[in-house]
Homo-oligomer: A and B are copies of this chain.
Amino acid sequence: MSLARVHAFAISLDGFGTGAGQSKDLHFGHAGDRLHQWRFATQSWQQTSGSRGIDNLFALEAGAEIGAEIMGAGKWGHPGWEDDPDWKGAWGANPPFHTPVFVLTHHPRPSIEMEGGTTFHFLDASPAEALEQARKAADGDDVRIGGGPTVIRDFLAAGLVDYMSVAIVPILLGRGVRLWDGLEGLEKTYDIESVASPSGIVHVTFTRTAT
């Protein structure tokens, strides 16, 4: 069974998965890199140095047995990317995905093959349709739902997420895009655990209960 997984998705204490005012220079808006500094400090990010504690374990898990990613248009590009035919994503020539990546957008364009095994495909499709395509591409491995918050929320609302870990960062952004809107009762279909890291991050995991 190929699972749909969300990993180490960072939100502020007040629930924002990205800040307000996203632009080409501010991929997370006024949040800057404050939602992700904990991850930059880990061995999985730094490779030859970095912490190997609980934050690192959650970061490491994000890449294991993933055969494809689904992301939203707001993760792939800044507002207005659809008018920039040369835009190839925010990660340079060799993006860190190394798998097919399905970008959900109302402005699909031809697929873009990057270095290192990443190919961006563009879909104007429902979450269920996108997951079906991504599963085929994943060839038996799992599919990561990579965000942003709107996409994760849509997949959760559609009942399509098998596992999710959320990293709550102890800052209050006050504005931006919320992860949790409209998900009343989500706890009924998941086992939820929490662990507080000495770094200040709280990792909350959602594991789908047997149905």
Interface residues of A (CB under 8 A from B): 13-15, 168, 170-175, 180-187, 192-196, 200, 202, 204
Contact A13 B172 (CB under 8 A): no
Known: A13-B180, A170-B187, A172-B185. 14 other contacts (CB 8 A): A14-B15, A14-B181, A168-B202, A170-B194, A172-B180, A172-B184, A174-B182, A174-B183, A174-B184, A175-B184, A193-B200, A194-B196, A194-B202, A202-B204
Give Cα A182 to B16, complex, Å: 12
Closest to A187 in B: B171
Q: For residue A181, which residues in chain B have a CB less than 8 angstroms away from its CB?
A: 14
Q: For residue A170, which residues in chain B have a CB less than 8 angstroms away from its CB?
A: 187, 192, 194, 204
Contact B171 A15 (CB under 8 A): no
Give Cα A38 to B65, complex, Å: 37
Contact A204 B13 (CB under 8 A): yes
A-B contact pairs, 28 of them (CB 8 A): A13-B180, A13-B204, A14-B180, A14-B181, A168-B194, A170-B187, A170-B192, A170-B194, A170-B204, A171-B187, A172-B180, A172-B183, A172-B184, A172-B185, A172-B186, A172-B187, A174-B182, A174-B183, A174-B184, A192-B200, A193-B200, A194-B196, A194-B200, A194-B202, A196-B196, A196-B202, A202-B202, A202-B204
Q: For residue A171, which residues in chain B have a CB less than 8 angstroms away from its CB?
A: 187
Give Cα A192 to B202, complex, Å: 12
Closest to A176 in B: B184
Q: Taking the nearest CB of chain B, how far is it from the CB of A169, in angstroms?
A: 9
Q: For residue A196, which residues in chain B have a CB less than 8 angstroms away from its CB?
A: 194-196, 202
Give Cα A20 to B72, complex, Å: 31
Q: For residue A174, which residues in chain B have a CB less than 8 angstroms away from its CB?
A: 182-185
Q: Taking the nearest CB of chain B, how far is it from the CB of A157, in angstroms?
A: 11
Q: For residue A182, which residues in chain B have a CB less than 8 angstroms away from its CB?
A: 174
Interface hub of A15, A184, A185 (most chain B Cβ within 10 A): A184
Q: Taking the nearest CB of chain B, how far is it from the CB of A159, in angstroms?
A: 14
